[in-house]
């Protein structure tokens, strides 16, 4: 079974530029999460999708962050314009079980200069 795929693995941009991250969850997993992990901290939820609908985006900075999952499969997270404090690893996870076990991708590391 293929795992959660994320790209790119690494991205360096200057502040005020834009960036997009892509995630393809495990086949059949209806729930998809985007987490932000700042160095030295635990992952913080940005947004949760159930199929192609948003379940929770209360912690997504909507003035600069957007995310979509148009066909209920893969998802894109965009940041525009980026700020220095957006430097972090962006983790995508999916789950298809009632126990809530998350399956993570390897993450996309963003550095904003």
Partner 1 sequence: AQSVTQLDSHVSVSEGTPVLLRCNYSSSYSPSLFWYVQHPNKGLQLLLKYTSAATLVKGINGFEAEFKKSETSFHLTKPSAHMSDAAEYFCVVRGGGGSGGSYIPTFGRGTSLIVHP
Note the residues at the interface with partner 1 (CB under 8 A): 4, 33, 35, 40-45, 48, 56, 91, 93, 99-107
- In the complex with partner 1, the residue whose CB is nearer, 54 or 80, is 54
The β-bridge relationship of strands 108-112 and 88-95 is: antiparallel
Nearest of 3, 4, 8, 5 to residue 109 by alpha carbon = 8
- In the complex with partner 1, the residue whose CB is nearer, 79 or 93, is 93
- In the complex with partner 1, the residue whose CB is nearer, 16 or 44, is 44
- The number of beta carbons lying within 10 Å of the beta carbon of residue 5 is 14
Closest separation between CB of residue 66 and partner 1, Å?
Answer: 19
């Amino acid at each position: 079974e293929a795992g959660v795929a994320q790209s790119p693995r690494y991205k360096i941009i200057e502040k005020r530029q834009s960036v997009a991250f892509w995630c393809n969850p495990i086949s059949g997993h209806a729930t998809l999460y985007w987490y932000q992990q700042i160095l030295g901290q635990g992952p913080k939820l940005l947004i949760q999708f159930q199929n192609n609908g948003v379940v929770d985006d209360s912690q997504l900075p909507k003035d600069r962050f957007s995310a979509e999952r148009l066909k209920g499969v893969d998802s894109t997270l965009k940041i525009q314009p980026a700020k220095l404090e957006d430097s972090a690893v962006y983790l995508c996870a999916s789950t298809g079980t009632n126990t809530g076990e998350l399956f993570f991708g390897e993450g996309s590391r963003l550095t904003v200069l």
